[in-house]
Amino acid sequence: MREMFYRHRRLFTILALPYLILIVLLVVRTDARAYVPGDLVPIDEVITLEGEHVHETDAFHSIYVMGVDRPTFFQRGVAFFDGNVIIDDLPEHREGLSDREIFTANQISRQSATHAAIIASFKAAGRTIDYEPFDTVRLVYPFADTTLRQEDELLAVNEEDDVRKALEEAETGQMHTAKVLRDGEETAAELYRHADGMYGLSLARQYRITSSEVSFKVHASLIGGPSGGLMQALDLYNRLSEEDLTQSRVIAGTGTIDAEGRVGAIGGVREKLITAVDKNADIFFIPEGDNHDTALDVKREKDFDIEIIAVDSLHSAIEGLKEGEHE
Amino acid sequence: MSKTLRGFRKRELFLSTLTGFLFALFILLPFFLVWINLIILYMRHAEWFLALITLTLAVFGYLSVRFTHKTLAMYRPHTLTKRERLIEGVSVAALLAGAGLAGSLYFLAQF
């Protein structure tokens, strides 16, 4: 082997530095976040309904964009030449977290949003559904002083069943106790409330659906995050109701939703709108407020031909679809 | 000293294979890293970059065998015919391409 290296030592010497630089550019990650246009996801591939009085449609789509945490120098270079890839600062709350933790957190958010969408749509369509809300640890930040783990289900804090109330009322500068369900077993944990009131935890409101008039199945996916909630709820409402609101249109959109049907803001609006137009969507649903303003700016900038409907609830989304409100 | 495959000693075979592998890796590592970088960035076009990875794997297999034979030739010149070297290189390239294809299909099936 040594002889082989000696024979080519001139080549190795000349290439060594540029080679090392190239490897560094391809391997070393930077403190930034890249947003890349993704694709439309038909809702009927995410949730299937089984039962009578359910009509199927493939008109509704949620949109995913790829968020790449800590892109390499090479990826940033590619983004520089690709106008559709946006490089932004790495959100402060993501620093110090592994890719695995963020993936799991996104899966928890997705599960939470999907169940909220099912509940909100069943309620809007007048179908019966029973559920119990509970809280799960979505993320444990590096500065947290706790024995809680990601995916722990919080049963009680300081022996109080109302977990959110107990966390709000707990004294700062002290360690508190929690009862959690971890891997199917009850166990005890501790959590410290810092002087500024922070715990270093992110909780997700989850829903355990105990019974429903129409049975459903949620399919697993590698795509995480809560932003598909609004479109899932709208699609399910359409499938559960008498009339078909789609009128052969390709309907895309984004926004979180809770069990009461309230719509919340999301990130990556620019890339999601670009993706929707790229995939020939006719309508784009977007949460009211800053998200809507951004979408209108992008539409003007790129001269897109797409109908943008701003909504603050599932009810307003349904009305918007019926009336076809413009901007 | 005991002789093994085609009259080469075990140590000679081992060192030559390792040299071939490392040389091929040295040349193709940047390519693999570029494709992986692009897959992460453009997941929706993953199939194209997986195809490129599969192709690079095939080239890697061929180069690895070629460099192995070059090193072996330093121990015993003209031990292997050109045809034998070609058959071995193409076989390893096909084997790695097959593995790359299977891995790519498995990866795509996750979506």
Query: Collapsing DSSP states into helix, strand and coil, what is residue B22?
Result: helix
What pLDDT is attached to residue B6? 67
- Least confident span in A102-106, A280-284, A308-312, B104-108: B104-108
| CB–CB contact A85 B37 (8 Å) | no
Which residues of B fall within a CB distance of 8 Å from A64?
none
What pLDDT is attached to residue A93? 72
* Of the partner residues B15, B26, B44, the one whose CB lies closest to the CB of residue A39: B44
Tell me the fold of A26-97+105-129+215-323: Ribosomal Protein S5; domain 2 (3.30.230)
Tell me how far CA of residue B51 lies from CA of A23, A27, A37, B55, B101, in angstroms.
22, 21, 21, 6, 8
Q: Does A251 touch chain B (CB under 8 A)?
A: no
Q: Does A150 touch chain B (CB under 8 A)?
A: no
* In chain A, domain spans: 26-97+105-129+215-323
What pLDDT is attached to residue B1? 45
Which residues of B fall within a CB distance of 8 Å from A19?
26, 30
Q: Work out whether the CA dihedral A162, A208, A230, A79 comes out positive or negative.
A: positive
What pLDDT is attached to residue B43? 81
Residue B3 has pLDDT above 60, yes or no: no
Query: Collapsing DSSP states into helix, strand and coil, what is residue B19?
Result: helix
Query: Collapsing DSSP states into helix, strand and coil, what is residue B50?
Result: helix
What pLDDT is attached to residue A67? 81
| CB–CB contact B19 A4 (8 Å) | yes
Contact A321, A245 (CB under 8 A): yes
pTM beyond 0.95: the answer is: no
| CB–CB contact B15 A1 (8 Å) | yes
Q: Does A4 touch chain B (CB under 8 A)?
A: yes
What pLDDT is attached to residue A232? 92
Q: Work out whether the CA dihedral A24, A29, A32, A37 comes out positive or negative.
A: positive
What pLDDT is attached to residue A154? 95
Number of A/B CB contacts below 8 angstroms equals 56
What pLDDT is attached to residue A11? 80
- Least confident span in A18-27, A135-144, A188-197, A218-227: A218-227
Q: Tell me: the pLDDT tens digits for A97-126?
A: 888 898 899 999 999 999 999 999 999 999
Chain B nearest-CA residue for A1: B19
* Of the partner residues A37, A39, A74, the one whose CB lies closest to the CB of residue B37: A74
Query: Taking residues A241-256, what's their average pLDDT?
Result: 86
The range of the structural domain enclosing residue B20 comes to: 5-109
Query: Taking residues A225-229, what's their average pLDDT?
Result: 90
Q: What's the mean per-residue pLDDT of chain A?
A: 89
Number of domains in chain B: 1
